[in-house]
Amino acid sequence: VTLETEQQGEREKEDERARRATVEVEASYQPTTTRFEKRYPRETTLAPVKVDVMAFFQVTERQVERKVYTYHLFLAGQPQADLGKTLGAIAGEERELKFQLVEQIVES
């Protein structure tokens, strides 16, 4: 019993270390209620996260002649323009981040 208890304790410590080294990312995209969820190392920058989120929601940035259509990651209502920023720098002491993928609507 003592050995099992020690092993369980080690596993819990290991899990805790893993959680501290990572950030749980959740992302929503308005036309669906389905959420993107994935755990990333804290040193991951926003650029690959945005790629993953867009792939998950099956959307692509597009360009026709000089018109470019882009998507943006928002956090707490603010656009995250610096895609070189790491999740750890954004999260600080937090262990999870909730983004929203948004776009600009232009009609004419």
Partner 1 sequence: VTDLYPPITRWMIPAAARAATLSGLRRAGQRGHEGGALWLGDRGVEARVRTVASASGDGVLERAGSWSLSPTAYGRIGEWAIERGQVLLGLIHSHGGSGALATSLSPTDAFSTVRVHHFLSVIVGRRGDEDDASAWGYHLFEQGRFRRLGAAEVAERIVWTSATIDHLQFDETTVEAARA
Q: What is the binding site for partner 1 (CB under 8 A)?
A: 28, 30-34, 57-59, 62, 64, 67, 69, 72, 74, 77, 79, 100, 102-108
Q: What gap in Å lies between CA 26 and CA 81, rounded to an integer? A: 18
Nearer to partner 1 among residue 3 and residue 105 (C-beta): 105
Contacts of 5 (CB under 8 A, 6+ apart): none
Smallest gap from Cβ 53 to partner 1, in A, equals: 12
Q: Which is nearer to partner 1, 5 or 108 (CB)?
A: 108
Q: Give min distance, CB of 34 to partner 1, in A.
A: 5
89 forms beta bridges with: none
Residue 108: partners with Cβ closer than 8 Å, 6 or more residues away: none
Task: CB nearer to partner 1: give 74 or 86.
Answer: 74
